[in-house]
Amino acid sequence: MKITKKVFFITTFVFLLTTGLQAQHQHIEISQIVKEFRDGVLTADQAYTQMTNMYDNGEIHKCAAPLHVFEYKYKDRISPHLIRRQKSQSSGSGLATYISPGGKFEFTYETTGEDGVPPTDSNSNGVPDYVEEAGLSADFAYDVLVTNLGYSDPIPTGTTYEIFFLDMGFYGFAETYSNPGGPGTRIALENDFDGFPGNDDPDGDQLGALRVTMAHEFKHAIQFVQNGFSGDSDLWAEMDGVLAEEVVYDEVNDYYNYLGGSGDIFGDPGTTVIPGSYEDVTWALYFHEKFGSDFWPNAWERIENDPSGLSFLAAVSEELNARGLSVRKSISELYLWHYASGRESTPGFGFDEAMNYPGPSIKSFINETDTSFSATQSLNRLAADFYKIDLSEQEPGQVSVSILATTSTLEVSLIFSLENGSSVQEYYSVASNQDFLIRSSVKWNDVREAGLVITNVSGGQSVNYQYSVFSSIPDEIVLEQNFPNPFNPDTQIPIEIPEDQKITLEIFDYTGRKVTTLYNGEILKGTYNIPFDAANLASGVYVYRLTSENGVFHKRMTLVK
């Protein structure tokens, strides 16, 4: 949506966010500007000028953490005459104040003039309904984020948090300012949200925008008190702010406006999520929905309590490890959730609101099997390629995939929609510099359609790979090495059965004591991946043994906790 911006000069400490496709386009350009500055291609003055020119372009914006952070971090390297000294609060003659019902927020407003809020006062108490709603929204955001979820409180005891309204054509911003003994930030909110993008709030677009903006900007206030926008976690602040919108006001869904453009997971195949911005909110939502509402408060607490400046992705990894979870599998599943969205949504799997998302951007459609490798593909760091498999004719045998990669940072996940209406998801860690063969337990004849997601779990390097999708039928019994190995605590044991028969698959510790029986009974010919959960076992070497009509086979595996 393209709307002429109201005439208004903003503080350079504003957080901007362009809506829709224009937002995606600007995010890519800002990232490129920052990269060129860090690479020494641009000076601080050049980068700052380019960024401010971009944001002063007549579009509706919401939050520009890159501009705020750039000036905050590099103000000593930016020429003073470039830093704009502009109005950051209402200054009209009709200013009034209002304290939120919870007593923690002080609002400054006026009902006339350029920055005036809608004057409607339905309860005739002398305070505009719009301001009262902002007070309720601020209190609710505080209760959810600080009281319930346990985020750090940005409001020192005995003080109030300052919020004001401006006619700016922007959703809002948080800015740092000198306030000894009080909060180190304050917030500005748009004074009427007239002409802004729509949302799903049952009380209307205006109140929906006001509510989520309050939650978004207050989360920035929390971020600042936690780490002062230091390290690299500030680069992910916009993703975190939009996550707060959804966590506090789930029914509003203003974030739908930012999904599916160029430069995000849904819009472009292979787009890196680094650094996470507003359009990457679903990346953060995965962890919230999958592992619980305490995941992100715990991760941010790790950042806050690490004096060495723990990186954002390191905090995510530490939190996953603390829960006994695999970082690689979690990231692989995260991208599989993104595949299973929109038109590809799968009942019982993925995001709570998956059906309302744009759906995956398919890199390539696979409509026939082929044992030959594809052309070399390049995949960015912390990104995924989505392939849809929809065969024109069913084939006998097992679904099989070969991957040839330059590094060991690839994860492969498969999602099958079966003819019987159910779905199956599978995950594999790919070895590098060899033909890594995946033999799924799923038969082609049972598949209605399938998705192949190839994820680069590295946060630091891209990877080249080739793939092939084909059918295989085992001609002899095979017990393969479990994957991953070493593992903690989950792994899978691949077996190939050439004919229907009875088998037993057992686990023994290194002393020969049987730990558990994973399978004992009749099994149809085919390829299987038998899951093994060792959460209740101690670290060490274990032996898995397959007893069949064709003989006895065994291999070792290592559990590392």
Q: Is residue 66 part of a domain?
A: yes
Domain of residue 241 covers 1-258
CA 478, CA 530: separation in Å to the nearest integer? 13
Q: Which two tokens stand for residue 527?
A: 């390829």
Give the total number of structural domains in the chain: 3
Q: In the structure, what pLDDT confidence band is assigned to residue 65 with cuts at 50, 70 and 90?
A: low
Q: Is 458 in the same domain as 550?
A: no
Q: Is residue 299 part of a domain?
A: no
CA 287, CA 282: separation in Å to the nearest integer? 9
Q: In the structure, what pLDDT confidence band is assigned to residue 486 with cuts at 50, 70 and 90?
A: very high
Average pLDDT over residues 99-110: 97
Q: Is 422 in the same domain as 485?
A: no
Check residue 176 and give its pLDDT.
Answer: 85
Q: Is 335 in the same domain as 484?
A: no
What's the chain's average pLDDT? Answer: 88
Q: Is 226 in the same domain as 351?
A: no
Q: Is residue 274 part of a domain?
A: no
Q: Is 24 in the same domain as 47?
A: yes
Among 473, 496, 516, where does a domain finish?
A: 473
Beta carbons within 8 Å of 311's beta carbon, 6+ residues apart: 231, 232, 233
Check residue 89 and give its pLDDT.
Answer: 63
Check residue 4 and give its pLDDT.
Answer: 31
CA 518, CA 515: separation in Å to the nearest integer? 10
What are residue 425's DSSP bridge partners? 415
Beta carbons within 8 Å of 100's beta carbon, 6+ residues apart: 106, 107, 135, 136, 138, 139
Q: Is 332 in the same domain as 462?
A: yes
Write phi, then psi, for 8 (nearest 5 degrees): -165, 130
Check residue 498 and give its pLDDT.
Answer: 86
Give percent above pLDDT 90 in the chain: 65
Three-state secondary-structure class, residue 176: strand
What is the 8-class DSSP label of residue 393? S
Q: Is 392 in the same domain as 514?
A: no
Among 237, 258, 279, where does a domain finish?
A: 258
Check residue 67 and give its pLDDT.
Answer: 74
Q: Is 402 in the same domain as 542?
A: no
Q: Is residue 449 part of a domain?
A: yes
498 cis-preceded (ω within 30 degrees of 0): no
Here the CATH number for the domain that contains residue 542 is: 2.60.40.1930
Check residue 16 and give its pLDDT.
Answer: 34
288-326 pLDDT, tens per residue?
Answer: 999 999 999 999 999 999 988 899 999 999 999 999 999
Q: Is 491 in the same domain as 462?
A: no
CA 227, CA 219: separation in Å to the nearest integer? 12
Q: Is residue 298 part of a domain?
A: no
Check residue 392 and give its pLDDT.
Answer: 81
* Coarse DSSP helix, strand, coil percentages of the chain, rounded to the nearest 5 percent: 30, 25, 40
CA 544, CA 133: separation in Å to the nearest integer? 62
Three-state secondary-structure class, residue 445: helix
412 in Cβ contact with 487 (< 8 Å): no
Q: Is 85 in the same domain as 221?
A: yes
CA 508, CA 559: separation in Å to the nearest integer? 12
Check residue 30 and give its pLDDT.
Answer: 66
Q: Is the pLDDT of residue 84 over 50?
A: yes
Q: In the structure, what pLDDT confidence band is assigned to residue 92 with cuts at 50, 70 and 90?
A: low
Among 445, 473, 501, where does a domain finish?
A: 473
Which residue type, as a one-letter code, is found at position 200?
Answer: D
155-188 pLDDT, tens per residue?
Answer: 999 999 999 999 887 898 888 888 899 998 999 9
Q: Is 479 in the same domain as 468?
A: no
Average pLDDT over residues 111-135: 96
Average pLDDT over residues 438-446: 88
520 or 85, which is more confident? 520
Q: Is the pLDDT of residue 7 over 50?
A: no
Write phi, then psi, for 148 (nearest 5 degrees): -85, -45
Q: Is 45 in the same domain as 129?
A: yes
Q: Is residue 412 part of a domain?
A: yes
Q: Is residue 385 part of a domain?
A: yes
CA 464, CA 407: separation in Å to the nearest integer? 8
Q: In angstroms, what CA-CA distances link 553 with 323, 403, 536, 543, 546?
A: 33, 26, 25, 10, 5
Check residue 198 and give its pLDDT.
Answer: 96
Q: Is residue 100 part of a domain?
A: yes
CA 349, CA 9: separation in Å to the nearest integer? 46
Check residue 254 and give its pLDDT.
Answer: 96
Here the CATH number for the domain that contains residue 441 is: 2.60.120.380
